[in-house]
A and B are shown apart, each in its own frame.
Chain A
Amino acid sequence: MTEPLPTGADEAAASKLSGRRRYHPLALAGRAVAPLPGAIALFGEHVLLLVRALAWLFRRPFRLRLFLDQMEFIGVGSLPIIMLVGFFTGAVTALQAILALSLFEQQRYVGFGVGISLARELAPVFTALMVTARAGSGMATEIASMRITEQVDALTTFAVNPVQYLVTPRLVASCLMLPVLCMGFNVVGLVGLYVVAIISYHIDLGQVLALFRWGVDPIDYAQGLIKAFFFGLTMATCACYQGLSVRGGAKEVGLATTRAVVSTSVAVLVLDYFLIQVMNVLFPYGGA
């Protein structure tokens, strides 16, 4: 027998002592699924925001300048960092591929290996993650600050819909600019490959090129670009959602930014898995 608790009210402490109730399977199952309704609701709210932003795209007034501003911020602004990361991604992947291929004395396959990795996976995912770190966090911070300084309320008082004014341009710009940046990443990644494979490892350029052209199809690039498009959609939705739902002060703005970056990064990787499954059905792999 356990001692009765002095207060007799603390159920958690009571179950800890009795030991039998702690492992009740239903209670355990209940605790395991407890966060689920919240997660589903959160997902639903993201989808709702996305749908509303898309619906506002087709309603007057059309503010072209807002779209161009965002395209500049997301696209042109992210270009340097994408170039830098793209170069080193290509170079590092080439280094590791050469190491692995040298086991079989088949280093000439490096062009094919790095090319296809960049096109299908590395370029879209790394582009999405880098743009999230730079532009996604910026979006969340900007909208969150506008929210707490009542600028979003001010928009409403002038009969301007905040979703149309703030979310729609960012959504469209992200969807359009991410594939462009992804393509830039690919090009610069191949430059990194060239520097490592041809210049420092003296692998024959003709063979590398021939195997690259044999193994990498335009459809591989198309898949990467389609993925980048959906990653852009995800990033803008997550970032704008976190920005708009902030309440409080400077601390909450920081938290919203953190949540935006984390949720986008996770969402991009999870979505990547499902997109690959869809792509495998749509474009059966017939490369190598």
Chain B
Amino acid sequence: MPGDRQTRDERWQIRIADLHKAFAAQQVLRGVNLDIERGKINIIIGGSGQGKSVLMKHLMGLLSPDRGHIYVDGQDIIGLSDVAIAKVQRKFGMVFQYAALFDSLNVVENIAFPLIERYRLPKKEVLARVRDLLERLDLAKVPGIEQKFPAELSGGMRKRVGLARALIDRPEILLYDEPTTGLDPIATKNVDQMIRRTADEFGVTSVVISHDMASTFRIADRIAMLYDGVIVASGERSQVMSAPHPVLKEFVETSGTVRFAGGLS
């Protein structure tokens, strides 16, 4: 299999071990164990309210768990100081569900934001890197894009600008929070292609949380299913699909994507 490394540390970029999290009396994560493979598209599927977003916020260091560990490149990120966690955060780029672009900043300022906040770079270099990304994400051909504000962009364009902002600091890992929610089928396909292309072209590890089975089958290298606070199935796409967990099977069948699944009957 291409990209399969010999040592496990080389292969797994993120390892989550026994992650627990509760809000008040509500237990959201009940011992999540999951490995994220380097350079691959790892999709975490699960229904609404199963704790997908909470899991992702733990990866970014936005929430701290009640119990458990998250190892990023072998380093446990739980309980690190603010400074140390900020260093780890630089390895991540986050693409938010609705892009979460800053309304008061234009496209260039939005994309350049992480660079301006983290480093002291000359303006020329920042602008060059922004323009390079606009070019690579097919945004450069939109007239006057640089000076536009988020409110003036379409949903798809906003998503790509959000991706550009996530990519500007050359992250090793890209997190996508339900990237295809609220998009029509064609826009969904475009976003899927964008995720695939970004993974291939930039060589990043992608972690996508989603409940969209059609796009999962289109782009996933690895699939994990989060159900009731635990990972009930995970592995290579074909491996997971050859003997699906009952919940996963139901998920696939009700989503009407059985024919994409391959091997599921």
B92 within 8 A of A: yes
Complex formed: what's the CA distance from A133 to B71 in Å?
49
The one of B90, B97, B102, B114 in contact with A151, judged by C-beta atoms closer than 8 angstroms, is B102
Complex formed: what's the CA distance from A208 to B199 in Å?
79
Known: A146-B103, A159-B86, A159-B89. A154 touches B96 (CB 8 A): yes
Cβ of A157 and Cβ of B60 under 8 Å apart?
yes
Interface extent on B, as a size class?
20 to 34
Cβ of A153 and Cβ of B103 under 8 Å apart?
no
**In the complex, residue of chain A having the shortest beta-carbon distance to the beta carbon of B93:** A157
**In the complex, residue of chain A having the shortest beta-carbon distance to the beta carbon of B57:** A153
| A15 neighbours in B (Cβ, 8 Å) | none
Instruction: Report which residue of A149, A150, A158 has the largest number of chain B beta carbons within 10 angstroms of its beta carbon.
Output: A158
Cβ of A157 and Cβ of B62 under 8 Å apart?
yes
18 further contact pairs, Cβ within 8 A, besides A149-B98, A159-B89, A159-B117:
A61-B117, A142-B103, A146-B102, A146-B103, A153-B57, A153-B62, A153-B100, A154-B94, A154-B96, A154-B100, A154-B102, A156-B62, A157-B89, A158-B114, A158-B117, A158-B118, A159-B86, A159-B90
Can you offer 25 A-B residue contacts whose CB atoms are under 8 A? A61-B117, A69-B104, A142-B103, A145-B103, A146-B103, A149-B100, A150-B96, A150-B100, A151-B103, A153-B62, A154-B94, A154-B100, A154-B102, A156-B62, A157-B60, A157-B62, A157-B92, A158-B89, A158-B114, A158-B118, A159-B86, A159-B89, A159-B90, A159-B117, A160-B117
| A159 neighbours in B (Cβ, 8 Å) | 86, 89-90, 117-118
B149 within 8 A of A: no
Interface extent on A, as a size class?
10 to 19
Cβ of A150 and Cβ of B62 under 8 Å apart?
no
Complex formed: what's the CA distance from A100 to B213 in Å?
78
| B62 neighbours in A (Cβ, 8 Å) | 153, 156-157
Cβ of B102 and Cβ of A157 under 8 Å apart?
no
Residue-wise interface mask of A (224-262) relative to B, using a CB-CB cutoff of 8 A (1 in contact, 0 not): 000000000000000000000000000000000000000
- Which residues of A does B touch, CB under 8 Å? 61, 69, 142, 145-146, 149-151, 153-154, 156-160
Q: How far is the CB of A107 from chain B (nearest CB, A)?
A: 51
Across the A-B interface, how many residue pairs have beta carbons closer than 8 Å?
41
Complex formed: what's the CA distance from A8 to B57 in Å?
46
Cβ of B94 and Cβ of A157 under 8 Å apart?
yes
Complex formed: what's the CA distance from A159 to B90 in Å?
9
| A150 neighbours in B (Cβ, 8 Å) | 96-98, 100
| A160 neighbours in B (Cβ, 8 Å) | 117
Complex formed: what's the CA distance from A61 to B98 in Å?
28
Chain B positions 73-113 with a Cβ under 8 Å from a chain A Cβ: 86, 89-90, 92, 94, 96-98, 100-104, 113
Q: How far is the CB of B135 from chain A (nearest CB, A)?
A: 23
Complex formed: what's the CA distance from A151 to B158 in Å?
13
Complex formed: what's the CA distance from A160 to B169 in Å?
15
Complex formed: what's the CA distance from A149 to B100 in Å?
6
Complex formed: what's the CA distance from A150 to B118 in Å?
20
**In the complex, residue of chain A having the shortest beta-carbon distance to the beta carbon of B165:** A154
Shortest Cβ-Cβ A-B pairs, 10 listed:
A159-B86, A150-B100, A154-B100, A158-B114, A150-B96, A157-B94, A151-B100, A158-B117, A160-B117, A157-B60
Known: A146-B103, A158-B118, A159-B118. A153 touches B96 (CB 8 A): yes
Complex formed: what's the CA distance from A160 to B116 in Å?
11
Complex formed: what's the CA distance from A154 to B177 in Å?
12
Residue-wise interface mask of B (112-156) relative to A, using a CB-CB cutoff of 8 A (1 in contact, 0 not): 011001100000000000000000000000000000000000000
Q: How far is the CB of A181 from chain B (nearest CB, A)?
A: 23
Complex formed: what's the CA distance from A149 to B98 in Å?
7
| A145 neighbours in B (Cβ, 8 Å) | 103
Complex formed: what's the CA distance from A160 to B113 in Å?
10
**In the complex, residue of chain A having the shortest beta-carbon distance to the beta carbon of B102:** A151
| A158 neighbours in B (Cβ, 8 Å) | 89, 113-114, 117-118
Instruction: Report which residue of A150, A159, A160 has the largest number of chain B beta carbons within 10 angstroms of its beta carbon.
Output: A159
Complex formed: what's the CA distance from A142 to B60 in Å?
25
Q: How far is the CB of A155 from chain B (nearest CB, A)?
A: 8
Complex formed: what's the CA distance from A61 to B101 in Å?
21
| A61 neighbours in B (Cβ, 8 Å) | 117
| B98 neighbours in A (Cβ, 8 Å) | 149-150
Q: How far is the CB of B108 from chain A (nearest CB, A)?
A: 15
Complex formed: what's the CA distance from A157 to B162 in Å?
13
**In the complex, residue of chain B having the shortest beta-carbon distance to the beta carbon of A156:** B62
Complex formed: what's the CA distance from A151 to B165 in Å?
13
**In the complex, residue of chain A having the shortest beta-carbon distance to the beta carbon of B175:** A157
| B60 neighbours in A (Cβ, 8 Å) | 157
